[in-house]
Amino acid sequence: MLDVSEIQTITHDVLVIGAGGAGLRAAIACSAHKLKTGVLSKSLLGKAHTVMAEGGMAAAMGNVDSRDNWKVHFRDTMRGGKFLNVWRMAELHARQAPDRVRELEEWGAVFDRTKEGLISQRNFGGHRYPRLAHVGDRTGLELIRSLQDHGVHQGIDFHMECTALELLKDGDRISGVLAYRRETGRFIVFRCKAVILATGGGGKAWPVTSNSWEYTGDGVAMAYEAGAELMDLEFTQFHPTGMVWPLSVRGILVTEGVRGDGGILKNNKGERFMFNYISERFAPETAATVEEAQRWLEGDKNARRPPELLTRDEVARAITAEVKAGRGSPHGGVFLDIASRRPAEFIRRKLPSMYHQFKELAEVDITKEPMEVGPTLHYFMGGIRVDADTQETTVPGLFACGECAAGMHGANRLGGNSLSDLIVFGKLAGDGAKQYVDKLAAEPVPTDDQITSAIRRATEILNRETGANPYLLHEKLQATMSKGVGIVRKKDELEVALEELQALKAEAATMKAPGASQYNPGWHEALSMRSLLVTSEAVTRAALIREESRGAHTRLDHPGESAEWVKYNVIIKKGSDGTMEVEKRAKPEGPADLVAIANAKIEDLESGKVGADVK
């Protein structure tokens, strides 16, 4: 029998799981509140997925177009999210993002500048004005490095290459986390008063994804197992432009900044097809002709935005339709052309890593030739249900922020709203944890039973004589999700996927990782399969119940948005019998003033006819 007292125990007030933008910002907030703070990261510090974010972070600072303000940003976010966003989260985000961005400068971030020496802002899909603070096309790196270099001086304990396995509870409260170190394979018990999950999404359930190996839905799955409610997981964003060739790099992201800086989409007939896909909602604010789009590019403030800058869900669907109609590029994508739109020097300066990436990986010079691009699974709008102001989940002491939390982005996220989400809600999660810890009467204690059973679940994968190969099982899961829960969905296909997932779960119970526990990727893969399976099942069940097409969730058998479904969230929870429960739950109505702003005509909002009384 395992002796729990022999396992290393580390005590913090707050343990943050995840060291991307949200986790680091949350940890900085906790340490500023004088909490003893630890951060777990699956990789080395500074390597989290945030590092791959390219285009920028959205904040209505109005440095480039002074007409911008938080209300316009809020309205763009709600419309982009097809009105399924949690009202309060979209409001908090739009209001607080500018301060959070400016604060990064105080910690050493060096954004690109305007002529006046202010933070420059670029255009992006769904944002009415140039709004994204950026550093070329490596904004994520700038964000993570600024937080990292500031964070290491804040007295935070970083536990690198350390993976969380299960949340521990004392009654209904969080009391700690069981984790293991990659290097040694040893288990560690973290005792803490609160846990902040900042674990990102679960894109690795799909074969074509911009996500790295870390994106296995760990936070979503751990929260679910601990009894927390999940929300709106059917909304999985396919970014319209991922690389499609060579096959081995399929899915790697091509920043929306290419389109923001003037790039256009063409089919194999050379047609600028996006003009054929302008939906009614966006028609009044989108250029109707190539000529008008051209004037916009040249800086005419009265021209409307080109249709390439429609929201990601709309562009991804349009690309899929073009390819399906036989108008795709040789490798099953479409063409993204900036070479004919901007001088080579401009492209190399504004999009250096895109230039580099295509040159080195695809042998394509994007200053001379168009890129081939197609949709790639990029982001989870859904996730763990949280309180908007504190980011607390439905489990006391458990907080979530960033991509693993639900609500901010509704049915579709605007580009650039993710990096700002990380720093706005990362900070709020830290503040929320502080309030919670202050009110906590007694220190919660994990029980030995939970620890030993969690360890047993992890080690049986190593101890089994034979069993399923976790890598091959992962490939099977990706095939299932790609076939049944892709960019367009149907009832019967979702049902088949659900059946396959049940079979995969049974097979996963027999996984075997050969070798010892020291730095054993096969074992790590097997452990993350558990999270991926929970997350995949939640996405599939949510997709099955939502019988409409909204944002990133497209049901061929239920085309169009339904007036009924906008009033509901899909809530998922672990039932008392251990099975996954799905509930269609009424979504709280928004406050009248915010509803008015979100629904206002842009002219009315800007003239002050609507929303002038909201400060």
CB of 279 to another protein, least distance (A): 32
Q: Of residues 140-199, which lie at the interface with another protein (CB under 8 A)?
A: 140-142, 145, 149-150, 152-154, 158, 160, 183
Neighbours of 557 (CB within 10 A): 12
Q: Which is nearer to another protein, 360 or 564 (CB)?
A: 360
DSSP string, 70-103: HHHHHHHHHHHTTT-S-HHHHHHHHHHHHHHHHH
Contacts of 70 (CB under 8 A, 6+ apart): 60, 94, 95, 97, 98
Q: Which is nearer to another protein, 183 or 583 (CB)?
A: 183
Residue 118 is encoded by which pair of tokens?
Answer: 């202010």
Residue 266 near another protein by CB under 8 A:
no
CB of 311 to another protein, least distance (A): 24
Residue 110 near another protein by CB under 8 A:
yes
Residue 213 near another protein by CB under 8 A:
yes
Residue 302 near another protein by CB under 8 A:
no
Residue 206 near another protein by CB under 8 A:
no
Q: Which is nearer to another protein, 117 or 270 (CB)?
A: 117
Chain centroid to CA 52: 12
- Of 49, 131, 191, 239, the active-site residue reads 239
CB of 138 to another protein, least distance (A): 7
Q: Of residues 227-256, which lie at the interface with another protein (CB under 8 A)?
A: 245-249, 252-253
Q: Which is nearer to another protein, 253 or 542 (CB)?
A: 253
CB of 433 to another protein, least distance (A): 13
**CA 522, 526, 528, 533: dihedral to nearest 10 degrees?**
150
Which residues, in sequence order, are bridge partners of residue 163? 180
Question: In the stretch 116-145, what mask flags binding to another protein with x, by CB under 8 A?
Answer: xxxx---------------xx-x-xxx--x
Q: Of residues 357-416, which lie at the interface with another protein (CB under 8 A)?
A: 357, 360-362
Q: Of residues 73-102, which lie at the interface with another protein (CB under 8 A)?
A: 102
CB of 281 to another protein, least distance (A): 34
Query: According to CB under 8 A, which one of 356, 456, 483, 609 is a site residue for another protein?
Result: 356
DSSP 8-state secondary structure symbol assigned to residue 55: S
Interior angle at CA 595, CA 594 and CA 600, nearest 5: 100
- Return phi, psi of residue 233, to 5°: -70, -10
CB of 390 to another protein, least distance (A): 15
Q: β-strands 230-231, 194-197: how paired?
A: unpaired
Query: According to CB under 8 A, which one of 107, 275, 277, 346 is a site residue for another protein?
Result: 107
- Return phi, psi of residue 553, to 5°: -105, 110
Distance (Å, whole) CA 522 – CA 142? 32
Contacts of 261 (CB under 8 A, 6+ apart): 122, 123, 338, 342, 346, 350, 351
Query: According to CB under 8 A, which one of 170, 214, 256, 392 is a site residue for another protein?
Result: 214
Residue 531 is encoded by which pair of tokens?
Answer: 């999270």
CB of 52 to another protein, least distance (A): 5
Task: Judge whether 190 and 12 are in contact, CB under 8 Å.
Answer: yes
CB of 74 to another protein, least distance (A): 22
Interior angle at CA 185, CA 179 and CA 187, nearest 5: 35
- Max Cα distance, the chain (Å): 75
- Of 150, 259, 489, 530, the active-site residue reads 259
Neighbours of 386 (CB within 10 A): 31
Total residues at interface with another protein (CB under 8 A): 75
Q: Of residues 512-531, which lie at the interface with another protein (CB under 8 A)?
A: 513-516, 518-523, 525
CA-wise closest residue to 43 among 199, 188, 155: 199
Q: Which is nearer to another protein, 43 or 420 (CB)?
A: 43
Q: Which is nearer to another protein, 209 or 311 (CB)?
A: 209
Residue 460 near another protein by CB under 8 A:
no
- Return phi, psi of residue 456, to 5°: -60, -45
Q: Of residues 463-502, which lie at the interface with another protein (CB under 8 A)?
A: 469-472, 475
Whether residue 259 lies in the annotated active site: yes
CB of 64 to another protein, least distance (A): 14
Residue 113 near another protein by CB under 8 A:
yes
CA-wise closest residue to 525 among 569, 471, 489, 566: 471
Residue 440 near another protein by CB under 8 A:
no
Residue 327 is encoded by which pair of tokens?
Answer: 């108008």
Residue 49 near another protein by CB under 8 A:
yes
Distance (Å, whole) CA 334 – CA 276? 15
Distance (Å, whole) CA 313 – CA 414? 9
Whether residue 159 lies in the annotated active site: no
Query: According to CB under 8 A, which one of 65, 112, 157, 369 is a site residue for another protein?
Result: 112
Query: According to CB under 8 A, which one of 18, 21, 46, 219 is a site residue for another protein?
Result: 46
Distance (Å, whole) CA 276 – CA 67? 29
Q: Which is nearer to another protein, 397 or 470 (CB)?
A: 470
**Catalytic (active-site) positions:** 239, 259
